Amino acid sequence: MPCSFPRRNVHFEFNMNIFGCAVKEPVMEVVICSDEQQVGQVAANRVLRWVEGLATPVLGLATGSSPLALYNELARRVEEGEIDFSCGIGFALDEYVGIDPENPLSYRQTILRTVVEPLRMDPTRVRVPNGFTPDLAAAALEYDRAIAAAGGVDVQVLGIGSNGHIGFNEPTSSFASRTRVKTLTEQTRADNARFFGEGERVPTHCVTQGLGTIMEARHVVMVATGRHKARAVTAMIEGPVAAVCPASILQFHPSVLVVVDEAAATGLNHADYFRHVADILI
């Protein structure tokens, strides 16, 4: 089947006219969903709208449990023949340092399992930062160059860490940062310990796309579910833009959709306003 992204019906079509100006994409748009399944549907609809018409869409891929509902929904549509990602290009956000890319715990294998296979992408067109090389700095530099050579990321999928990190950009990361080695916080290592078996040590370092790299994506879809994400979500959306919550830099991005479930929205002071805006726009 040829690669194609046909027109389709989407739930959320934003076409507002405010004081005579056509507004196609609000800057940081927040949608609060009743459950994880709806989060996946809303996020998938938007991804498909943003890649529509692109012959070789470039996706920025996140690991973690948050985007799974989105990937599952996209996979369902691939399964039904509605879309075809076989010509898509993918760049993962991050990778652990010191874990063999063949190890099932590596983000390379995680991306292959959770995204590449279900979406039937071509694995040779999907890259993950190299955390298993003696020259990590050179590999990181080359990674940013490869993203640029592919024409940049069209749609970046993001989750958020409980401490507000995106990728593995831990609190106090520079807003201008590029792909590089970072030291993981103890909080992140504790959060991710669930993926590692007893006696297996969670790595202390990673290679992650920088905040500056992530901000260059044309569109961003951020998904967050669960009460344990509520604090980070509130800081990202309503807090000041500050390096203590790296995700807050997204307030400066020109095209971001944040999709959260009720639990992740519990800390939002402006939840009613976001619901009101979504009601008007739908």
Catalytic one of 163, 169, 191, 253: 163
E-assigned strand segments in 34-140: 58-61, 89-92, 94-96, 126-127
Helix (H) or strand (E) holding 17: strand 16-18
64 contributes a contact to ligand GLP by CB under 6 A? yes
Catalytic one of 29, 36, 144, 165: 165
Binding segment for ligand GLP (CB under 6 A), chosen from 58-66, 243-251, 252-260, 273-281, is: 58-66
Give bridge partners of residue 59 from the DSSP assignment: 90, 155
Site string for ligand GLP, 218-257 (x = CB under 6 A): ----------------------------------------
* List of residues 6+ apart from 133 with CB closer than 8 A: 139
Give bridge partners of residue 220 from the DSSP assignment: 156, 256
Catalytic one of 36, 84, 94, 261: 94
- 210-234 in b/e form (b: 16+ CB < 10 A) is bbbbbbbbbbbbbbbbbeebbbbbb
Site string for ligand GLP, 170-209 (x = CB under 6 A): ------------------x---x-----------------
Q: Which is nearer to ligand GLP, 133 or 185 (CB)?
A: 185
Q: Which is nearer to ligand GLP, 45 or 110 (CB)?
A: 110
Residues 85-104 that bind ligand GLP (CB under 6 A): 93-94
159 contributes a contact to ligand GLP by CB under 6 A? yes
Q: Which is nearer to ligand GLP, 57 or 167 (CB)?
A: 167
d(CA 34, CA 39): 8
Residue type for position 256:
V
For ligand GLP, the binding residue among 83, 89, 160, 259 (CB under 6 A) is 160
| Least distance between ligand GLP and beta carbon 174 (Å) | 17
For ligand GLP, the binding residue among 89, 168, 214, 249 (CB under 6 A) is 168
Compute CA distances 46 → 28, 49, 215, whole Å: 13, 5, 18
Neighbours of 38 (CB within 10 A): 18
63 contributes a contact to ligand GLP by CB under 6 A? yes
Residues 229, 167 contacting (CB under 8 angstroms) = no
Binding segment for ligand GLP (CB under 6 A), chosen from 7-15, 29-37, 62-70, 117-125, is: 62-70
Binding segment for ligand GLP (CB under 6 A), chosen from 39-47, 130-138, 157-165, 244-252, is: 157-165
- Tell me, by CB under 6 A, how many residues bind ligand GLP: 14
Neighbours of 9 (CB within 10 A): 6
End-to-end CA distance of the chain: 33
Helix (H) or strand (E) holding 205: strand 205-208
Q: Which residues bind ligand GLP (CB under 6 A)?
A: 62-66, 93-94, 159-161, 167-168, 188, 192
Catalytic residues: 94, 163, 165, 170
